[in-house]
Structure 1
Amino acid sequence: MLEERVRFGVIGLGMGRYHIERLLEAPHAEVRAICDLDQGRLERAGDQYAIAWRTSNYEDLLASPEIDAVVVALPNVLHAPVSIAALRAGKHVLCEKPMARNAAEAEQMLQAVSETGRLFMIHFNYRFTPAAAALHRYVEAGELGHVYHARSWWHRSRGIPNLGTWFTSKESAGGGPLIDLGVHRLDLALWLMGYPQATAVSGATYDLLGKALAAEQGREFTVEDMASVFVRFDNGATLVLEASWAENGERDEEMLTQVYGTKAGCLHRNTRGYEFEARIFRPEHGSYVSIAPQAYPRDLVSAQEHFAQCVLSGDTPSATAEQGLQVMRIIDAIYASAARGEEIRL
Structure 2
Amino acid sequence: MDLREYFDEFTTPDWPQPDEGTVRFAMVGLGWWTLDHAIPATNDYDTLETTTVVSSTTEKAQRVADQHDSIEHALTYDEFTDGEASDAYDAVYVGTPNALHLPYVEAAAEFGKDILCEKPLESNAERAEKLVEAASDVTLGVEYRMHVQPAVRMMRQLIADGFIGDVALVHGNMSQRLLEINDDYDQWRLNPDLAGAGTSVTDLGVYSINTSRFVLDEDPVAVSGATWSGHEAFDEVPDERASFTVEFPDGVLASCTASQNAQFASSLRVVGTEGELLLEDAFLAGERVLTVTRGDTTVTTEFDQIHETRRSLEYFGDHILTDTPIPGDGEHGLVDQRAIDAVYEAAESGERVEL
Give the counterpart of 1:83 among 78, 92, 105: 105
| 3-state SS of paired residue (2:87) | coil
In structure 2, give the amino acid aligned to 1:33.
Answer: T
1:240 equivalent to 2:262? Answer: no
RMSD: 2.6
Cα distance in 2 for partners of 1:32, 1:60 equals: 17
Q: Match for residue 7 of structure 2?
A: none
Give the counterpart of 2:214 among 182, 191, 196: 191
Cα shift at 1:47: 1.6
Listed one character per residue, the Cα deviations across residues 112-162 of structure 1 (whole Å, up to 9, x for unaligned) are 333x1x111111213323332333343444434422221111112564744
Give the counterpart of 1:262 among 273, 284, 292: 273
TM-score (norm 2): 0.84
In structure 1, give the amino acid aligned to 2:200.
Answer: P
In structure 2, give the amino acid aligned to 1:12.
Answer: G
1:275 equivalent to 2:286? Answer: yes
Give the counterpart of 1:289 among 275, 294, 298: 298
8 Å contact from structure 2 (residues 244, 255) kept in 1: yes
1:221 equivalent to 2:233? Answer: no
Change (3 A) 1:141 1:92: farther
Q: Match for residue 93 of structure 2?
A: 71
Cα distance in 2 for partners of 1:112, 1:157 equals: 35
Bigger mean CA offset, 69-78 vs 34-43:
34-43
Cα distance in 1 for partners of 2:321, 2:178 equals: 42
TM-score (norm 1): 0.86
Listed one character per residue, the Cα deviations across residues 33-75 of structure 1 (whole Å, up to 9, x for unaligned) are 1111133431221122232311112225576233210000111
1:33 equivalent to 2:52? Answer: yes
8 Å contact from structure 1 (residues 76, 173) kept in 2: yes
Give the counterpart of 1:337 among 315, 326, 346: 346
Change (3 A) 1:33 1:112: same
Change (3 A) 1:62 1:331: farther
1:27-176 matches, within 5 Å, as: 27-50=46-69, 51-56=71-76, 57-59=79-81, 64-114=86-136, 116=137, 118-157=138-177, 159=179, 161=182, 162-174=184-196, 175-176=198-199
Cα distance in 2 for partners of 1:328, 1:83 equals: 16
Cα distance in 1 for partners of 2:84, 2:172 equals: 38
Cα distance in 2 for partners of 1:58, 1:255 equals: 37
Change (3 A) 1:61 1:22: farther
8 Å contact from structure 2 (residues 222, 352) kept in 1: yes
Cα shift at 1:188: 1.2
Count of aligned pairs between the two proteins: 328
Cα distance in 2 for partners of 1:137, 1:232 equals: 21
Change (3 A) 1:208 1:294: closer
Cα distance in 2 for partners of 1:61, 1:183 equals: 32
8 Å contact from structure 2 (residues 41, 310) kept in 1: no
8 Å contact from structure 2 (residues 288, 305) kept in 1: no
Cα distance in 2 for partners of 1:181, 1:272 equals: 9
Change (3 A) 1:222 1:322: same
Change (3 A) 1:243 1:13: same
Give aligned-pair identity as a percent.
26
Cα shift at 1:293: 5.0
Give the counterpart of 2:317 among 289, 308, 318: 308
Cα shift at 1:279: 1.8
8 Å contact from structure 1 (residues 95, 120) kept in 2: yes
Cα distance in 2 for partners of 1:157, 1:63 equals: 39
Give the counterpart of 1:3 among 6, 20, 34: 20
Q: For structure 2, which runs of at least 5 residues remain unmatched after alignment?
A: 1-17
8 Å contact from structure 1 (residues 192, 259) kept in 2: no
8 Å contact from structure 2 (residues 169, 252) kept in 1: yes
| 3-state SS of paired residue (2:106) | helix
8 Å contact from structure 1 (residues 225, 245) kept in 2: yes
Cα shift at 1:2: 2.0
| 3-state SS of paired residue (1:198) | coil
Q: For structure 1, which runs of at least 5 residues remain unmatched after alignment?
A: 215-219
Change (3 A) 1:272 1:103: closer
